Amino acid sequence: MPFTNNNNKSLLILGTRGVPAAHGGFETFAERLALYLTGKGWLVTVYCQREANDKLLSKPQINIWNGVRRVIISTSIDGPLGTMAFDWACVRHAMREPGLPLVLGYNTAVFSILFRLAGRSVLMNMDGIEWKRAKWGLLAKAWLYLNEWCGALFSSTLIADHPVIADHLARRRSRKDIMTIAYGADVITTASEEPVRAMGLTPRKYFLSIGRIEPENSTLEMISAFVSRKSDCAFVCLGQLDPEHNAYHAAVVAAANGKVIFPGAIYELSRVQALRFHALAYCHGHTVGGTNPSLVEALGAGNAIIAHDNPFNRQVAGEGQVYFSDVASCADLFSHAEVNKIWQVTSREYARRRFASNYSWPMILRQYEELCLRFCMRATTEAPVITGQKP
Residue range 279-313, pLDDT digits in tens: 999 999 999 888 999 999 999 999 999 999 999 99
- 232 CB neighbour count, 10 Å cutoff: 7
Residue 317 and residue 304: Cα distance in Å, rounded? 10
- Tell me how far the alpha carbon of residue 245 is from its chain's centroid: 25
How do strand 123-125 and strand 100-104 relate by DSSP bridges?
Answer: parallel
How far apart (Å, rounded) are the C-alpha atoms in residues 101 and 94? 8
Could you tell me the residue range of the domain that residue 142 belongs to?
Answer: 10-184+360-376
Residue 1 is assigned to a structural domain of this protein: no
Beta carbons of 386 and 38 less than 8 angstroms apart: no
Same domain, residue pair 59 and 163: yes
- The whole-angstrom separation of Cα 65 and Cα 218 is 38
Cβ pair 387, 11 in contact under 8 A: no
Reply yes or no: is the peptide bond before residue 195 cis, omega within 30 of 0: no
Among 360, 349, 186, which residue's Cα sits nearest to residue 273?
186
The answer to whether residue 383 is domain-embedded is no
- What is the residue-level pLDDT of the chain in tens, covering all 391 positions? 333 444 589 999 999 999 998 766 889 999 999 999 999 999 999 999 986 554 545 689 999 999 999 999 988 787 888 899 999 999 999 999 999 999 999 999 999 999 999 999 999 999 888 888 877 889 999 999 999 999 999 999 999 999 999 999 999 999 999 999 999 999 999 999 999 999 999 999 999 999 999 999 999 999 999 999 999 999 999 999 999 999 999 999 999 999 999 999 998 999 999 999 999 999 999 998 889 999 999 999 999 999 999 999 999 999 999 999 999 999 999 999 999 999 999 999 999 999 999 999 999 999 999 999 999 876 544 333 333 434 3
User: Which residues, in sequence order, are bridge partners of residue 206?
Assistant: 234
- Can you give the pTM of this predicted structure? 0.88
Amino acid at 54: D
Residues 228 and 365 in one domain: no
Cα separation, 68 vs 42, whole angstroms: 9
Shared-domain flag, residues 292 and 344: yes
Number of domains in the chain: 2
Q: Are residues 167 and 249 in the same domain?
A: no
Query: What is the phi/psi pair of residue 124, to 5°?
Result: -140, 125
Is 388 a domain residue?
no
Q: Is 329 found in the same domain as 274?
A: yes
Range list of H helices, 189-287: 194-198, 219-227, 247-256, 269-277
Domain match, 207 and 301 both = yes
Residues 211 and 268 in one domain: yes
- State the CATH number of the domain containing residue 123: 3.40.50.2000
Question: Is there a single domain that holds both residue 139 and residue 203?
Answer: no
Cα(334)–Cα(313) distance, rounded to whole angstroms? 18
Same domain, 354 and 219: yes
Claim to verify: residue 295 and residue 211 sit in the same structural domain: yes
Shared-domain flag, residues 70 and 148:
yes
In a domain, 123, yes or no: yes
Asked whether residue 116 is domain-assigned, the answer is yes
User: Do 285 and 173 sit in the same domain of this protein?
Assistant: no
User: Helix, strand, or coil here: 207?
Assistant: strand
In a domain, 385, yes or no: no
19: in domain = yes
390 in any annotated domain: no
Whether the CB-CB separation of 167 and 173 falls below 8 Å is answered with: no
